[in-house]
Structure 1
């Protein structure tokens, strides 16, 4: 999510809804279907066969847990017969319309894979760790352990644009400032190489200030997380030919490039990192948002440039593809896949991938907010771009003032064409926990977690 204004105590609480003994033998889901929100869906289907199943809304309570607003990045994994979902809440003390005295939170929900009902919930990050505005996220299984990666979309407040790696099972986390001090949208592990690599996008909204594509390359996952400079380094991407820029690119064009190293001394803070990356000729993007790993080819990612900044190469946004050289991950090319000047979308923000599809979530900026922010499906097979859902903004707000966010493919977890996504209802408020986590102790922005079904996606 983008906005211009700029080990946790775990209270694990499960909700059990009893059913009959006979139904339990036939179908365990009937014995324990879980809690579902009573609020209407904040997302509306736009394509035949699509469906939205609202799961949990800000203000909903499950035992002693109450959902906080501004849900954003998501991650999920199977644990026995249930689904474990981690969910960011994009909060920050320097950020208006949130509970006072609360920073970024991370919820963990146990969900019935059949009914999508919530069986239990807890906070892995309470908002008292002083990290500002966790946005998108990536959950990856590394050597069998599910790890959740996310970062601050804020500088210099909080930890000055730092990031974390969390063991999704235990909640234990490690700060990873070596991955770069900048406004993180996402941190994505890239496997399949001799080296371990993570790619991160910089969401810099400031007019006249470029946005860069960063990476961290290490000898191993352990070396990357530890940050030992003898076994890993921060990098920024640049074009091999400096004459090739965002302004020279058109749909389908490719720029060959390389990741060049940045020392940890240069990464002392957000200002020194920006200066160092600029001095090394980093490729200038307008305003990068989410990035998502492709299923089709090792070392391939898609990333969004939302635009919305005057004087840059794109105003209404682009979708790029990054192809990393498997024999030398420091070499990588960028291809312009979709361009808002010729394709029907505006201000792309969050992305999700499946073997068949790239899902693109709009976060419309003025003057584009006269239309609803949508979720669009890009078909990898035929290149078609189809709107599949839109936000259900309530009047008198402009249709595009709400946004969906954090979309991830869940077809491999719950079956079929299911996806999980959050909705940020920016114009509504809901009761939610303040610093003590007591339900109804504060008020903040509304939001919802939804399951979205899209046929053949």
Structure 2
């Protein structure tokens, strides 16, 4: 009896101890039921807020892609805020509401003034929209402008201009974007950096585009800051390194390392290195102001088209990050920048600074675990002999560039030249999840070929096509919408919606006029395993 009594007491204690965990498991199970589940079969679904079917569909014979139309240009969120063109780079984060039933999506709009309407920051042109979306149904319940105030930079005085006393800033053509993990801009060990979420993008505006940081949370949310130390360029994206804390050096994460790709045609890949701080504005604390700029130089390849046309997948080339220094003054823009051998039109850059002109560098991502490895696309062109769209890997010896400015570049994917479409053509945007799965997006631009979506495994190097634009809308010779279509902005959503989820959008370059600008759509993509429901 004593043994039975002791057993009952132990079981009672365990019941008390485990009760909270049982409740937690129940909440997780209930939460899982509340996440939107696509059909098991490859296909498309129209979400409750979209007036249009999905602009992307699974590629014939694939079983790995389910596309959900979330919101189409001209549709409104439940609060009346309307989606307008031109959708591009995305970011997403969980709402901090108690039940975790919604998440937020940030969306770049690649508009050029005088397109569109006047936005919350007081000007037409490029802007960032913010959307609240239900996880259970993908209903869009709220939308608004993210940017409220823009802090421009005076290169002559090296000071910010207070938006309260200066005219509204007109911005142009926001392309790809990055909403980095907190670890990219905050060092938990030292306390340096910012805990606020910061959304990064830039203007793809010839050689005069500006880099920007948009504060998403915290006391200065809604404030946008120009980032002068990136100089001016035709920015495709700014991509901070989220894994510096994994390096052996104790203070490595006090650095902020950002890759910047210049898509002003035949152009460069840059590296920015700054220092995190404990005080200042969110962008100052994040180390996005006050740093130094470097440019990538592949050994003996000053020009990828001229010197690298014969490269194939697997080829490796040593590279150096060439120091350009502080470019926050007049030498970071205009004629002074052009005089430093960095203009796109310069066919023969001088030996100093050494730099490589890539064949249209586009979007990029850091490896999900390895702080030394960065990936980026070069788009090239559709049917020119000797020019290949490529997925490049840069492996740094030291990504903070303190102990070494060297590394090795590798061609991972070498698309077919000419009119051959058996492999990727004109790769543009990309997203990489924690499993090392990459979604790669084509932008073939005004071709009868339907732009496709590819899936690539970083470890196995398996490459397969999983999606294409919907033939019902984009097939020649007389498409319902246009033959000038591209998908863009793909980001992993594993931490928000579960494994296998992505968000992305489509730019259907059909002018709509008025405030709508151009056609387009926000979508969700599921590449995960069947959840047992069809």
TM above 0.5, one fold? Answer: yes
Q: Is the 8 A contact 1:103 1:129 kept in 2?
A: no
> Which residue does the alignment assign to 1:238?
297
> Which residue does the alignment assign to 1:57?
72
How far is the alpha carbon of 1:303 from its aligned partner? 0.4
Task: Specify which structure has the higher proportion of helix.
Answer: 2
Q: Is the 8 A contact 1:178 1:267 kept in 2?
A: no
- Shift in alpha-carbon separation, 1:274–1:249, aligned structure 2, 3 A: farther
Q: Is the 8 A contact 1:411 1:418 kept in 2?
A: yes
Q: Work out which structure has the larger RCO, using CA pairs closer than 8 Å and 6 or more positions apart in sequence.
A: 1
> Which residue does the alignment assign to 1:189?
240
Q: Is the 8 A contact 2:235 2:260 kept in 1?
A: yes
Alignment gaps of 5+ in structure 2: 1-29, 36-46, 151-167, 187-194, 343-348
How far is the alpha carbon of 1:120 from its aligned partner? 1.1
Deviations for 1:398-447, whole angstroms, at most 9, x for unmatched residues? 975211000001122100211000101112527xxxxxxxxxx6342011
Q: Is the 8 A contact 2:257 2:400 kept in 1?
A: no
Aligned counterparts of 2:257 and 2:197: Cα–Cα separation in 1: 17
Q: Is the 8 A contact 2:229 2:289 kept in 1?
A: no
- Higher mean Cα deviation, 416-425 or 261-270? 261-270
- Shift in alpha-carbon separation, 1:442–1:77, aligned structure 2, 3 A: closer
- Shift in alpha-carbon separation, 1:248–1:301, aligned structure 2, 3 A: same
Within 5 Å, which residues of 2 pair with 1:77-156? 77-80=93-96, 81=100, 82-93=102-113, 102-125=124-147, 129-140=169-180, 141=182, 142-143=185-186, 144-155=195-206
Number of residue-to-residue matches in the alignment: 407
How far is the alpha carbon of 1:231 from its aligned partner? 5.3
Q: Is the 8 A contact 1:70 1:424 kept in 2?
A: yes
How far is the alpha carbon of 1:164 from its aligned partner? 0.9
> Which residue does the alignment assign to 1:370?
448
Aligned counterparts of 1:179 and 1:449: Cα–Cα separation in 2: 30
Within 5 Å, which residues of 2 pair with 1:40-439? 40-46=53-59, 47-62=62-77, 63-80=79-96, 81=100, 82-93=102-113, 102-125=124-147, 129-140=169-180, 141=182, 142-143=185-186, 144-155=195-206, 160-169=208-217, 170-191=221-242, 192=244, 194=252, 195-205=255-265, 210-220=266-276, 225-226=283-284, 232-241=291-300, 245-247=307-309, 249-263=311-325, 264=327, 265=329, 267-276=331-340, 277=342, 278-279=349-350, 280-308=353-381, 315-326=387-398, 329=401, 330-341=405-416, 344-354=423-433, 355-365=435-445, 369-392=447-470, 393-395=473-475, 396-397=478-479, 400-427=483-510, 429=512
Aligned counterparts of 2:507 and 2:289: Cα–Cα separation in 1: 42
Aligned counterparts of 2:382 and 2:267: Cα–Cα separation in 1: 11
Deviations for 1:231-261, whole angstroms, at most 9, x for unmatched residues? 5211111134568942353211111112112
> Which residue does the alignment assign to 1:20?
none
Aligned counterparts of 1:229 and 1:295: Cα–Cα separation in 2: 21
Aligned counterparts of 2:363 and 2:133: Cα–Cα separation in 1: 25
Aligned counterparts of 1:254 and 1:64: Cα–Cα separation in 2: 52
Mark the structure with the bigger radius of gyration: 2
Aligned counterparts of 1:186 and 1:268: Cα–Cα separation in 2: 18
Aligned counterparts of 2:309 and 2:145: Cα–Cα separation in 1: 44
Alignment gaps of 5+ in structure 1: 1-25, 431-440
Q: Is the 8 A contact 1:308 1:317 kept in 2?
A: yes
Aligned counterparts of 2:92 and 2:407: Cα–Cα separation in 1: 29
Aligned counterparts of 1:249 and 1:51: Cα–Cα separation in 2: 35
- Shift in alpha-carbon separation, 1:229–1:413, aligned structure 2, 3 A: closer
Q: Is the 8 A contact 2:482 2:510 kept in 1?
A: no
- Shift in alpha-carbon separation, 1:394–1:297, aligned structure 2, 3 A: same
- Shift in alpha-carbon separation, 1:454–1:422, aligned structure 2, 3 A: same
